[in-house]
Amino acid sequence: MRGSVDGLGSSAPLGLMLPAVFADDELAQRFVAGLDDILAPIHNVLDCLDSYFTPSLAPADFTRWLAEWVGAETDGAERLGGQEGEAVLRAAVAAAAHLHRIRGTRRGLAEVIRLTFGVEPVIAESGAADWDARPLGPVPGGRRPSLHVSLALPHPAPGDQHRLESLVEAARPAHMPFTVQVTAAERTPGK
């Protein structure tokens, strides 16, 4: 949390801004020096303001607030915790605007799942697109909309199925019924 920082000097000391009559007044200089101690962290934040809106540079608590502000999916960061979780949080905030642009698409769903779980999902959907020079050609895709997301995790946790359902529900097209499946990834011998 931001607050007072011991020994932080002000970038704009008030004592230098006083009228000349107070330049040699010890009481006035000590009084405004106390105000400088209070104002120095504010000046420091304002001097570095652009860094607060860059997810890779912002303080961790401010990055969590920024994640709420931009609507980033931070479930994966909360699950991991520590420095690994902080890295996932920063990546989620940095990707939030891009993910909002592609929300509701297969690519958008795949990216938000990969960002949250760290694993590439397998997505099967009923939709398709095709072009034919002849009219009344066959219509591609299924007659009923459907979406199935499979996720193979190295160490699935009991809540992963619910987390994936919540994530798909939020990122899928609104009209699309869906199912999800979380399985344990096959391990190769020796690993």
Task: Report if pTM > 0.85.
Answer: no
Here the CATH number for the domain that contains residue 139 is: 3.30.300
Q: How far apart are CA 109 and CA 115, in angstroms?
A: 10
Q: How far apart are CA 30 and CA 10, in angstroms?
A: 14
- Asked, for residue 43, whether it belongs to a domain, the answer is no
**pLDDT, tens digit (0-9, with 9 covering 90-100), for 7-59:** 777 778 888 888 888 888 999 888 888 888 888 888 888 888 888 889 999 88
**pLDDT, tens digit (0-9, with 9 covering 90-100), for 177-189:** 999 999 988 876 6
> What is the edge-to-edge ordering of all strands in the sheet holding 147-153?
122-125, 147-153, 178-184
- Asked, for residue 97, whether it belongs to a domain, the answer is no
Q: How far apart are CA 24 and CA 94, in angstroms?
A: 51
* Alpha carbon distance, N-terminus to C-terminus of the chain: 41
Picking from 56, 8, 58, the residue whose alpha carbon sits closest to that of residue 33 is 8
Q: Considering its fold, how many domains does the chain have in total?
A: 1
- Asked, for residue 66, whether it belongs to a domain, the answer is no
In terms of Cβ atoms closer than 10 Å to its own Cβ (0-12, 13-18, 19+), residue 89 is: buried
Picking from 116, 119, 121, 99, the residue whose alpha carbon sits closest to that of residue 108 is 99
Residue 80 structure tokens: 């991991």
Residue 145 structure tokens: 């909309």
- Asked, for residue 54, whether it belongs to a domain, the answer is no
Picking from 157, 76, 155, the residue whose alpha carbon sits closest to that of residue 111 is 76
- Asked, for residue 163, whether it belongs to a domain, the answer is yes
| Structural domain range at position 151 | 104-191
